């Protein structure tokens, strides 16, 4: 009998796009953050492994094809780790999952486009529900400035880019709208052919700070099902529906832009950003898997750690934050409190012509200690006295590193100020 020494159970991979995103992908969040990129994933799989969109999905997640194991015969697995999913359909979504999918979306390049897109189903050869005259609706929407897109005619990276453009993304309710989880704070208007909307849409939107409005259209009636569809409906007046839809969408877009402008904080040009190193040359970093502060010699491109940046504003307010691709809550060995910004105070000591600097916690008055020793040793605010291993060297950021730090600081400030988005549906009459 074939044997596998150790693997992580990934679950079922089916042909359904939406269920793969919300059932299989959440398990990869644990793998990427905890087990590393080379861990083996045991899956039950139909023909899904070879589909182009699934292969693109794995590349964005950083999972190689060699890491997916789909046995064709009975196989003995001696040690199997079964992670609990961080998404349960129609029940809960953990924010860490959306941080994971946002990070995947950040890996694609896209051209910012202010023209709204409408994701159509009019060209689908088969499906569950459809409108027999959706093409007429799309023709009318084009006159209002919408770009009509058939998602199935584009690869996964292109589909993700439609949700990242500044013009907004609209469409017919379905699994294609779940692609929004790869974009940061997407928005748009969604038409629902029926009346029922899965709570998963609302849960994902709330966790992703997305702003989608779901619209049920009662100006359509059921007709005989078209070939390869379970149910087919007919829009009574596509022209009127397009006009009402456009009015509601552009009102929504104005509200979203006004809200973002009102809440956008300013990062002063006088704000300074520094990397820090200890006496043995190790940088102050955060471990991506758990947000722990550590001292590390790892290369800046390492995917296990990220630099901690000291930010000093023109009001002399000091704080630390992680320069990661997604907002990363950090903690220290001396406290379990997680926060995007860690408040601190810069202290100095003058000995002759030498000035030595240290970082102190405002509440405990203890200094940050970067003790030498093994690689990736915990750094912590635990030193009662300012002495050798509390001395740090500041390296001021310039160029692209400064731009990146300033952008992350702004993103964290926006995240702190963002109110929870409450989504709901309404009936378009």
* Backbone dihedral angles phi then psi of residue 221, each to the nearest 5 degrees: -135, 155
Q: Rounded CA gap, 224 and 219, in Å?
A: 17
pLDDT at 420 over 60: no
Q: Are 175 and 25 in contact (CB under 8 A)?
A: no
Reduced 3-state DSSP string for 353-378? CEEEEEEECCCCCCEEECCCCCCCEE
H or E segment to which residue 247 belongs: helix 238-263
All domains in the chain, ordered by first residue: 3-85 (no CATH), 117-263 (3.40.50), 272-416 (2.80.10.50)
Q: Which of 10-14, 31-35, 277-281 has the highest mean pLDDT?
A: 277-281
Strand, coil or helix: 391? coil
Average pLDDT over residues 313-323: 86
CA dist., res. 162 & res. 174, Å (int): 15
Separation between Cα atoms, residue 95 and residue 329, nearest integer Å = 12
pLDDT of residue 417: 57
**Ranges 14-18, 172-176, 273-277: which has the least confidence:** 14-18
Whether the pLDDT of residue 421 is over 50: the answer is no
Question: Looking at per-residue confidence, does 163 or 263 come out higher?
Answer: 163
Query: What confidence tens digit (pLDDT) does each residue in 118-161 have?
Result: 999 999 888 888 899 999 999 999 999 999 999 999 999 999 99
Report the distance separating Cα 306 and Cα 293, nearest Å: 10
Q: For residue 352, what are the contacts with CB-CB under 8 A and spacing of at least 6?
A: none
Q: Are 116 and 163 in contact (CB under 8 A)?
A: no
Percent pLDDT > 90 in the chain is 29
Least confident of 361-375, 385-399, 405-419: 405-419
Stretch among 47-51, 162-166, 286-290, 357-361 having the lowest mean pLDDT: 47-51
Give pairs for 19-27: CB < 8 Å, separation 24+.
19/175, 20/48, 20/54, 20/57, 21/175, 21/178, 21/179, 21/181, 22/87, 22/89, 22/178, 22/200, 23/85, 23/87, 23/89, 25/57, 25/61, 25/101, 26/85, 26/86, 26/87, 26/97, 27/83, 27/85
What's the pLDDT score for residue 75? 87
Q: Which of 266, 292, 267, 290 is nearest to 378 (CA)?
A: 292
Give the residue carrying structure tokens 């100006």: 219
- pLDDT of the residue at 32: 64
Would you give the end-to-end CA distance of the chain in angstroms? 63
Higher pLDDT, 412 or 224: 224
């Amino acid at each position: 009998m074939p044997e596998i020494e150790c693997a992580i159970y990934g679950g079922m991979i089916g042909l359904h796009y939406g269920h793969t995103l919300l059932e299989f992908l959440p398990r990869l969040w644990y793998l990427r953050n905890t087990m590393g990129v080379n861990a083996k994933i045991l899956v039950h799989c139909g023909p899904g492994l070879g589909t182009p969109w699934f292969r693109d999905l794995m590349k964005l997640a950083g999972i190689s094809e060699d890491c997916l194991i789909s046995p064709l015969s009975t196989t003995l697995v001696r040690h199997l780790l079964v992670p609990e999913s961080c998404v349960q359909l129609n029940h809960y979504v953990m924010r860490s999952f959306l941080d994971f999918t946002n990070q995947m979306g950040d890996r694609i390049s896209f051209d910012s486009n202010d023209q709204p897109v409408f994701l159509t189903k009019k060209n689908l050869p088969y499906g569950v529900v459809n409108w027999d005259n959706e093409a007429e609706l799309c023709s009318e929407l084009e006159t209002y400035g919408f770009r009509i897109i058939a998602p199935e005619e584009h690869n996964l990276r292109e589909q993700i880019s439609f949700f990242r453009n500044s013009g907004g993304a609209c469409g017919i309710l379905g699994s294609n709208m779940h692609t929004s989880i790869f974009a940061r704070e997407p928005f748009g208007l969604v038409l629902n052919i029926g009346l029922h909307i899965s709570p998963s849409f609302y849960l994902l939107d709330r966790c992703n700070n997305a702003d989608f409005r779901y619209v049920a259209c009662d100006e359509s009636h059921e007709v005989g099902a078209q070939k390869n569809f379970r149910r087919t409906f007919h829009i009574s007046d596509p022209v009127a529906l397009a006009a009402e839809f456009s009015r509601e969408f552009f009102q929504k877009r104005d509200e979203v832009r006004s809200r973002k402008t009102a809440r956008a904080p300013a990062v002063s040009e006088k704000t300074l950003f520094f990397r820090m190193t200890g006496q043995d040359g190790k940088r102050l970093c955060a471990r991506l898997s758990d947000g722990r502060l550590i001292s590390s010699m790892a290369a800046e491109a390492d995917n296990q750690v990220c630099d901690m940046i000291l930010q000093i504003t023109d009001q002399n307010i000091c704080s630390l934050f992680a320069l990661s691709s997604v907002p990363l809550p950090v903690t220290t060995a001396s406290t379990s409190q997680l926060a995007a910004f860690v408040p601190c105070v810069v202290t100095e000591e003058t000995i002759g012509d030498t000035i030595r600097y240290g970082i102190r916690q405002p509440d405990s008055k203890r200094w940050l200690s970067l003790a030498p020793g093994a690689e990736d040793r915990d750094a912590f605010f635990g030193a009662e006295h300012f002495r050798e291993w509390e001395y740090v060297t500041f390296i001021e950021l310039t160029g692209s590193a400064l731009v990146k730090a300033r952008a992350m600081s702004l993103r964290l400030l926006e995240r702190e100020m963002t109110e929870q988005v409450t989504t709901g549906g309404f009936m378009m009459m």
